[in-house]
Structure 1
Amino acid sequence: MNKSIFSTRTIVAIGIGTALFVILGRFAAIPTGIPNTSFQTNYAFLALIASIFGPIAGLFIGLIGHTLQDVISYGTPWWSWIISSAVVGLGIGAFHSKFNVQNGEFGVKKIVIFNVVQAGVQAIAWFLIAPLLDILIYAEPANKVFTQGIVAGLLNIATVGVLGTFLLLAYAKTRTKKGSLSYED
């Protein structure tokens, strides 16, 4: 059977997820004092959606959502950070089967796995990819972009670690646990 990676469910998740990513990025961000770097709540939401719908949804929500957010906020896309957002969505989504929140269980072991994954993916995206692409694409000074990347990465890791974990716990509680339903005569 040839199953498309773009199911209706995934396309709807991308559309709604992108809209909410942009809204949260635009209206629920707190400046840090580091230029063009803020405390972003939308990465907790990206982690939630990537954990539920997988890597394709995570990739496109990060890519399209960050692009729209940049165009709305700054008038032009900043591709190095857009690519990093896409990597975050893709990377967290790639491990969605390990978290498997759809089965209604998101206990300590899965919380630890989720946070190790999200911290590792975000460290790669923000500590390495974003600054290196800033240097390669925009010829930005290394000390500036690595400072921005480290601050953004640490804030995103903390945000997803707290708010993202809370969102996944809340989502898991809405799901029926596997094997919890039984047949009665």
Structure 2
Amino acid sequence: MNRTPPQHWQLADAAATRALGRELAARLLAARTPGTGGAPPALMLQGDLGAGKTCLVQGIAAALGISEPITSPTFALAQHYGGALADGTATALVHLDLYRLEQPAAAEELFAQEEEEAAELGALLAVEWSGRLGALPPEAWLLELELADPTDPEVGRNATLHTPGGPGDLSEPG
């Protein structure tokens, strides 16, 4: 599958990271296959500890009208949240963290289960530590986060998004 040229952001702080999460949530919802009401493409997150993956998911949750606190599901592996948009449309988020699953087979099994659940719910699926999977789904969006200065986490982050193209892609600023 052809991917669009990557998009790049410099994120000054946690607020900017959450703002990018809100923007991505809107784009992912817009990327649903028209007329199906199904789940949007999965958002695969990669980055070292402290790179801002959970912070970004907090922004996604805010855009989905989810009021529950969003924390990393490192020990639970997966968290499910429900919310509603301003117009009353129900939303859902499945937040997955593969950090503790060092074997690709275990990560792939959990991902397949949660991907199916997200599809049934029409939920947005955000996957932290997606590099634990043997391969990423071709229709998934990949966001790489890294500290701008690894010696100073307060300096900010760099984000790079890779999308497969099609509806809702970020090849043009929105």
Q: Scaled by the length of structure 1, what TM-score is found?
A: 0.38
- Which structure is higher in RCO with an 8 Å CA cutoff and minimum separation 6? 2
Q: Scaled by the length of structure 2, what TM-score is found?
A: 0.40
Structure (1/2) with the larger strand percentage: 2
Greater Cα radius of gyration, structure 1 or 2:
1
